[in-house]
Amino acid sequence: MSKLEYRFSFTEYDSIDELDPEDAWLLGEARDITKSAYAPYSQFLVGAVAKLANGEIIAGTNQENASYPVGLCAERALLASAATVYPNVPINTIAISYQTIGSNGNHPISPCGMCRQALQEFEERTNQSIRLILGGLEGKIFIIDQASQLLPLAFTGKELKK
């Protein structure tokens, strides 16, 4: 028997002012795009903006539905769009922000489990890590160097090979 350990570390910043200009710009775009979210049921507006390896910028927002499970998270809206418009182009960084109607998000949120799975496979298929910048409209910011670090022992396509 052996006991194994998984280590995870990330960086916390007190505010957007501590980020380098390119990261601050991307988070600013994610904050802005939260306004485009369609979230009449949760009133939880999420925006995600990616800088691709080819320099292009792609955004996604959450898109809810009266049939709740039909709703799509901002992260997966973004990944689908990026892979459609620029197939096989890796993503360097995704900034994710949010607000709830009536109040500003003031702490970082991180991707849900389903989005972690989608991010992990996107990294694998493009053979490149995705950095995440997580922050509300104000407050602390987390930077995670590799999205798949959020999903230890991930289930992957390798398991499906005979």
The least CB distance from residue 81 to Zn ion, in Å, is: 15
Distance CA 113, CA 115 (A): 5
Element (H, E) at 82: helix 74-85
Is 24 or 116 the residue whose CB approaches Zn ion more closely?
116
The residues that touch Zn ion, with contacts defined as CB under 5 A, are: 73, 112, 115
Active-site pick, 75, 123, 124, 159: 75
Q: Which residue is nearest to Zn ion (CB)?
A: 73
Can 75 be counted among the known catalytic residues? yes
The least CB distance from residue 162 to Zn ion, in Å, is: 30
Is 76 or 131 the residue whose CB approaches Zn ion more closely?
76
CB hemisphere CA count around 81 (13 angstroms): 19
State the maximum Cα–Cα separation within the chain, in Å, rounded to a whole number. 53
Distance CA 46, CA 106 (A): 13
The least CB distance from residue 9 to Zn ion, in Å, is: 23
Hey, which residues are catalytic here?
75
